[in-house]
Amino acid sequence: MFIRKKQVRDATYLQLVESYREGGCVRQRIIGTLGRLDQLQKAGTIEGLMHSLARVSEHLGVLGEHRQGTTEPVSTLRVGPGLIFHRLWEETGIGPTLRAALAGRAFEFPVEPAVFLTVLHRVFAPGSDRAAEQWKRDYWIPNVEGVDLHHLYRTMAWLGEVLPDSEQAGRTPFSPRCVKDRLEEALFSRRRHLFTDLVLALFDTTSLHFEGAGGQELGRRGHSKNKRSDLNQIVLGLVLDSERNPICSEIWPGNTTDVKTLLPVVHRLRERFGIRRICIVADRGMIAKDTVEALDALEEPVTYILGARMRSQKEVRDEVLGRGGRYQEIVSPRRKAKDRAPLEVKEVWVESRRYIVCRNEEEARKDAHDREAILEKLQSTLAQGDKALVGNKGFRRFLTSKGAGFTIDEERVRADARLDGKFVLRTNADPAEFDAGDVAYIFKELWQVESIFRSVKSLLQTRPVHHQQDANIRGHVFCSFLALVLIRELQRRMISRNRLFEWADLIRDLNELTETDVRTVDGKCFTLRSELKGCCGSVFQAVGVAVPPTIRASTPKTAVSS
């Protein structure tokens, strides 16, 4: 039964309607008319009717008591994160993969829930394992009641545990094969059928520094992309497919240079993931003569698209950028702000080496404007004396020494102008399969890895790092990789339903969904759900999780104890 409004001329009437089935069809009949809406509201009849119904409806009675403040709250837990991400945990295969890996292992605590707790904490409140152990007290998370801090430490150690010698085939020169590597490969094999013969592997690295030593072997001084060369660090490599789904992660000592990381990744993709045909896309930090020669010398060729250094590589600077020729327009100038950025490409061959010169007119104008601003500032600074130039790296590329002082080098200014809005790619891709425009588009996908790394660094806000063992550090970083897998899956499902929300808003709205256990005056227990706010309902629909009922009878649950 339900209440229906019926408009009759200028008056609105309330009717009590019943639905019934007849001959396989749903029909409705009016049981009675309650009266005119305005008169019922004026006389307070509707409120009286609701109170009368509440006496025979236990749930309505509880809601009434709760509004009046006569119920006794027992506990309140945030349930949105656990409900949504536990479904994704299962459907991405992470849960089943972990359970298979744990078969036969005799842990006295639930390891899989400990991993899920750590991963969920990375998504919603990035921090250390110690912080995760405190954080779980306010959340509903399946089966973590018996998980303590020392269990989280042991879980991280297991994830980073070195595999037996019999499973070290295919290890990189810088790091042994660990449990986390086997899990990555098992996860990939579960969704292997989704990939075509060609896997576009987007690869990039970043550095993550420690306040402490950073393990026995991993923590080393090296080139820091975080501008913290004074601290020990690790090098983190991430491989994504063309849809930006994480395939695997690599962790190396902090003094490992970028040019040494590319070949081990290629070998692992082939030997451990079983991918025979690869197109590897990497930034200019990966390109070196020895690396390219090694890729070309592989028995099974690897297609590569590598960013080239325009200033430091003589061949690129003098021959590739010095060649004439017309650019081919791939994307026209924008008409609207949301249009794709304009792009022009030009193919240049130096002997048998193929280069693609790419130019963006918008970026070219911006580069020219920025240079003019620097030169204007440099002119005024030169008038103040040489000491005013100390420490300003932006000035250096335009200066030359003249006698005892410095002056602006016009030749350097002109050379810099030649690079406005440009980037150069080195590739061995077959032009019949990948024309110049295809190569440029594929490389631009790599820029998405930069946004992924920004997510990784926010997921790794764990300083000071409490782990002192390499195994724990590897497990700790792997949990951030799993968090990225879940985040990307949720984003994919939201996009497929055309539900586009800011990530911060999505996290906030899920966080605000709570369930409160209350006890009534007669000792009965009920669970009350808060209202769905913002995009919370859309997230539940996209993931296929039923929203908990507004009220249900329950046995009181308590917040997770430490």
Closest CA to 92 of 546, 487, 547: 487
- If asked whether residues 243 and 367 sit together in one domain, one would say no
Amino acid at 91: E
- For 482-532, the pLDDT digits (tens) are 998 999 999 999 999 888 888 889 999 999 999 888 777 567 788 888 889
Query: Would you say residue 384 has pLDDT above 80?
Result: no
What was the pLDDT predicted at 72? 63
In a domain, 457, yes or no: yes
- For 174-207, the pLDDT digits (tens) are 889 999 999 999 999 887 765 445 577 888 888 7
Residue at a domain's end among 417, 436, 452: 417
Give the whole-number percent of the chain exceeding pLDDT 70.
Answer: 86
What was the pLDDT predicted at 242? 75
Q: How far apart are CA 434 and CA 556, in angstroms?
A: 62
Residue at a domain's end among 41, 56, 71: 56
What was the pLDDT predicted at 499? 86
**Poorest-confidence range of 242-256, 283-297, 366-380, 467-481?**
283-297
For CA atoms 475, 477, 479, 481, the dihedral sign is: negative
Grade residue 35 by pLDDT with cuts at 50, 70 and 90: confident
What was the pLDDT predicted at 179? 95
Q: What is the mean pLDDT of residues 322-349?
A: 88
Q: Where is pLDDT greater, at 16 or 227? A: 16
What was the pLDDT predicted at 73? 64
In a domain, 117, yes or no: no
Q: What is the mean pLDDT of residues 233-245?
A: 83
- If asked whether residues 212 and 303 sit together in one domain, one would say yes
Grade residue 562 by pLDDT with cuts at 50, 70 and 90: very low
**pLDDT, averaged across the chain:** 83
Closest CA to 471 of 265, 217, 220: 217
Grade residue 99 by pLDDT with cuts at 50, 70 and 90: very high
What was the pLDDT predicted at 561? 39
- If asked whether residues 204 and 297 sit together in one domain, one would say yes
Strand (E) or helix (H) holding 357 = strand 353-359
- Angle, alpha carbons 154-156-159 (nearest 5°): 110
In a domain, 532, yes or no: no
In a domain, 78, yes or no: no
In a domain, 483, yes or no: no
Q: CA-CA distances (angstroms) from residue 289 to 285, 315, 537?
A: 12, 11, 53
What was the pLDDT predicted at 65? 60
User: 119-134 burial, b for 16+ CB within 10 Å, e for fewer?
Assistant: bbbbbbbbbbbeebbe
- If asked whether residues 301 and 400 sit together in one domain, one would say no
Q: CA-CA distances (angstroms) from residue 253 to 184, 223, 246, 321?
A: 20, 11, 21, 36
What was the pLDDT predicted at 396? 74
- For 244-273, the pLDDT digits (tens) are 788 888 888 888 887 788 888 888 888 888
- If asked whether residues 390 and 434 sit together in one domain, one would say no
pTM confidence score? 0.78
Residue at a domain's end among 355, 389, 417: 417
Q: What is the mean pLDDT of residues 552-561?
A: 59
In a domain, 209, yes or no: yes
Query: Would you say residue 412 has pLDDT above 70?
Result: yes
What was the pLDDT predicted at 458? 61
Q: What is the mean pLDDT of residues 369-385?
A: 85
In a domain, 178, yes or no: no
Selection from 87-96, 198-207, 238-247 with the highest mean pLDDT: 87-96
Centre a 10 Å sphere on the Cβ of residue 104 and count the other Cβ atoms it contains: 6
Q: Are strands 525-529 and 551-553 parallel, antiparallel or unpaired?
A: antiparallel
Q: What is the mean pLDDT of residues 12-36?
A: 86
- If asked whether residues 289 and 379 sit together in one domain, one would say no
Q: Where is pLDDT greater, at 386 or 216? A: 216
- If asked whether residues 253 and 376 sit together in one domain, one would say no
How many domains, the chain? Answer: 3
- If asked whether residues 380 and 456 sit together in one domain, one would say no
Amino acid at 545: V
Beta partners for residue 427, in sequence order = 305, 354
**Poorest-confidence range of 235-244, 304-313, 319-328, 423-432?**
235-244
- If asked whether residues 266 and 292 sit together in one domain, one would say yes
Query: Would you say residue 134 has pLDDT above 60?
Result: yes
Query: Would you say residue 49 has pLDDT above 80?
Result: no
- If asked whether residues 217 and 313 sit together in one domain, one would say yes
In a domain, 242, yes or no: yes
Q: What is the mean pLDDT of residues 85-90?
A: 96
Q: Where is pLDDT greater, at 159 or 45? A: 159
Closest CA to 309 of 282, 278, 328, 344: 282
Grade residue 454 by pLDDT with cuts at 50, 70 and 90: low
Range of the domain at 274: 195-327+427-465
- If asked whether residues 369 and 399 sit together in one domain, one would say yes
- If asked whether residues 308 and 413 sit together in one domain, one would say no
Q: DSSP assignment of 101-154, as one string?
A: HHTT---SS-HHHHHHHHHHHHHHS---HHHHHHHGGGB--TT-TT--HHHHHH
